[in-house]
Amino acid sequence: MQPAIPVPGHAGVRLPIVVELKKGWHYEEASGSFAHGRQRFDPAEALPAGAQVTQRFPAGSIPPRTTQERELARFVQLVLPPDDVPAKYLDLVQRWPCVANAYVIPPPSLPSLPQA
């Protein structure tokens, strides 16, 4: 038995693809593309309509002053439309030139026992 309280289905929680960019790459919100010097990579064509790319760390929470904060800025997330399955795109995303690593964190749960 592994005690857990799962995320309720009715909550409609979505699991993004977490993308860790290669060093030197960053996401430009204005253009919607990944950039590294003069290199650009536009993910839009590879993703379904309605997919969103956002910084993993909410804007304003990470003024990148330290090395660790710059590390945080390397993480972005791809949020797919509600009916799409993130795992379906994982192999594709991992092959992008800007991507060091990509994964989907499985649904979270609370580490406790459900009570009647």
Of 43 and 80, CB closest to another protein: 80
Residue number with CB closer to another protein (12 or 37): 12
Measured from the CB of residue 51, what is the shortest distance to another protein in angstroms?
12
**Of 44 and 110, which CB lies nearer to another protein in the complex structure?**
110
Instruction: Give one word for 38, left, alpha or beta, with left for phi > 0 and alpha for psi -120 to 50.
Output: alpha
Closest approach, Cβ 64 to another protein, in A, equals 10
Least separation, in Å, of the C-beta of 44 and another protein? Answer: 19
Taking the complex as a whole, how short is the minimal distance between the CB of residue 47 and another protein, in angstroms?
A: 15
**37 or 59: whose CB is closer to another protein?**
59
- HSE-up of residue 113 (Cα within 13 Å, Cβ side): 3
- CA dist list (Å): 28 to 53, 84, 111, 113: 10, 24, 37, 43
Which residues lie near another protein (CB under 8 A)?
Answer: 1-5, 7-8, 10-16, 18, 20, 56-58, 60-62, 66, 68-69, 71-72, 75, 77, 79, 101, 103, 105-115
16 alpha-carbon distance from chain centroid: 5
Sheet holding 75-79, edge to edge: 52-55, 75-79, 17-21, 99-104
